[in-house]
Structure 1
Amino acid sequence: MRRWTSWIAVGDSFTEGLSDEGLDGTYIGWADRLAMILAERNPDFRYANLALRGKMLREIVTEQVSLAVEARPDLVTVCAGGNDLIVPGRDVDVLAEEFEQAVVGLRKAGCEVVIFTGPDPRNQPVVRRIRAKVAIYNGHLHAIADRHDAMLVDLWAMAPLVDVRAWSDDRLHFSAEGHRRIALRTAEVLGVPVAEDWREPLPPVEPMPWLRLRQADLAWTRAHLLPWVRRQLRGESMGDGLVPKRPELSTFSSNGNGHAAHI
């Protein structure tokens, strides 16, 4: 098993950790959870998380991947393009070409690279309308990983992520349970032993009555969908004015966050 000494995570809200909220109100996410595992195996392990919510692929490449290429860590994880896929008219093939160039740059810099497919959104209202685009993009990502000897975490193939309990109330970001399982799956791809299995089925749950489902859909539309539409019309992003939570490679610390300390 390789001993990872440095890792830079780049991406959008998925890698920033929304909506896996810690005890201090900050977001944890799969990346911080995985960093804890790696730090436990190597006290000198260094980690940076440059991801910011709302970022488009081109922003991630110019603002984050460029820094990773310059820093040349052992490992770089890249998940990007999800926000682009939601925007009508975005060409999936062009998006994949931009993503591939980012991977090429990181591999030339000597970094090991892990990329992520999009999850299957079939149970997510509204978002499931772009399911075909996500599937096409995922096909490109599999090919990119194969061409450039990158590791791939196939979120689409993770059956537990189809369960609505793996998602937060906004139906766009993963819950703490979803992030926990993704951290375990990524550790598996990296060849890092873990004590828990991401495949373990969630406990059975009674299906929600039709009327309650419709009421939940209406509440979600008011609380999450309409504000998102307004931001798009104004050219705004959830990440405007924010900075990365771990902008530089440094020895990992959970900062007293109880959730981060337990995968």
Structure 2
Amino acid sequence: MSGVPTGSSGDLENKDILSYVALGDSFTEGMSDPYPDSDSVPNGRYRGWADRVAEHLADHVSEVRYANLAVRGRLIAQIRDEQVPRAVEMSPDLITLCAGGNDIIRPGSDPDKVVEIFESMIAELRSTGARVVIFTGFDTNWQPVMRHLRGKIATYNMHMRSVADRYGCDVVDVWSMRILDDQRAWNWDRLHLSSEGHRRLALRVCEVLDLPVDDDWNRPWPPPEPRGWRSARQEDLHWAREFLVPWIGRRLTGRSSGDGVSPKRPELQRCERYRPGD
């Protein structure tokens, strides 16, 4: 497409003031990674990999202004309509976008159709001159209930990579992060990253952005604690009762976990390094 930049927009560390906008759904909102000092997670105190990346940038740039427009449960068309225009208005230096996952896991969804919306978003965001980072979907092979989605996710991933190539976007290849196959990378709902999962993903994003980090996102997990068959089945039953059944209920009734939820950082605000519990 004419008029669309074809390369990333340079070294982020060389800027005196850096603006960063994160777009997406629960993955980018930060579920389920509460701040250690949070008494009220529902009031917007989720942290997540995007907050962690912004905080890391704040250690290397004189001033970082950060907005996070992501809202849990959002479908890709909602992200296009609600978040992309606002991001374009902000005209940031850096944009991260993860979208389409909630569409792909729905029965009957078509990755070919979803990526058409995705490409329209990328074209609009890259036309601002911002550096845009996108994310592949996770490999669900480790999760028996969602293993059947691997083919659709892989198809969508390849489409997104093609779009990234055409528009000069950076890609965080989450699919290949085998370290996330461990259940300790995930919250009990098996759909959102744990705090440690978010921390490792933030390190990987910083690596893609060529930012120095002091830890390895791919560091092997310590040996797991032994777990018996009965304990594992009890966990499966708890998960089905507390997460799977309500999730199916929302799908059948057209409701979303994000109904009534607003972005946690709707404006570009100065980001400070968060120290406790890093």
Q: With structure 1 as the length reference, what TM-score do the two structures score?
A: 0.95
Tell me which amino acid in the other structure corresponds to 1:13: S
Partner of 2:12: 2
Could you tell me which of 206, 216, 239 is aligned with 1:187?
206
Partner of 1:11: 24
Tell me which amino acid in the other structure corresponds to 1:192: L
How far 1:206 sits from its partner (Å)?
A: 4.3
Partner of 2:216: 197
Partner of 1:258: 276
**Structure 2 matches for 1:8-157, cutoff 5 A?**
8-22=21-35, 23-24=37-38, 25=41, 26-157=45-176
How far 1:202 sits from its partner (Å)?
A: 0.6
Identity %: 51
Tell me which amino acid in the other structure corresponds to 1:258: P
- Measure, in 2, the Cα distance between the counterparts of 1:253 and 1:37: 9
- Measure, in 2, the Cα distance between the counterparts of 1:214 and 1:60: 37
How far 1:57 sits from its partner (Å)?
A: 0.4
Unaligned 5+ segments in structure 2 are 1-10
Moved more, 124-133 or 214-223: 124-133
- Superposed CA RMSD: 1.4
- Measure, in 1, the Cα distance between the counterparts of 2:233 and 2:141: 17
- Measure, in 1, the Cα distance between the counterparts of 2:260 and 2:89: 24
- The superposition leaves residues 115-154 of structure 1 with CA deviations (integer Å, 9 ceiling, x where unpaired) of 0001111112322221111111111111111111100000
Aligned residue-pair number: 259
Tell me, yes or no, if structure 1 residue 247 matches structure 2 residue 266: yes
Partner of 2:189: 170
- Measure, in 1, the Cα distance between the counterparts of 2:174 and 2:96: 14
Tell me, yes or no, if structure 1 residue 219 matches structure 2 residue 232: no
- Measure, in 2, the Cα distance between the counterparts of 1:172 and 1:225: 10
- Measure, in 1, the Cα distance between the counterparts of 2:115 and 2:229: 39
How far 1:212 sits from its partner (Å)?
A: 2.4
- The superposition leaves residues 178-203 of structure 1 with CA deviations (integer Å, 9 ceiling, x where unpaired) of 00010000000001101111011111
How far 1:2 sits from its partner (Å)?
A: 2.7
How far 1:209 sits from its partner (Å)?
A: 2.7
- Measure, in 1, the Cα distance between the counterparts of 2:32 and 2:276: 16
**Local SS of the residue matching 1:8:** strand
- Measure, in 2, the Cα distance between the counterparts of 1:88 and 1:125: 17
Tell me which amino acid in the other structure corresponds to 1:83: N
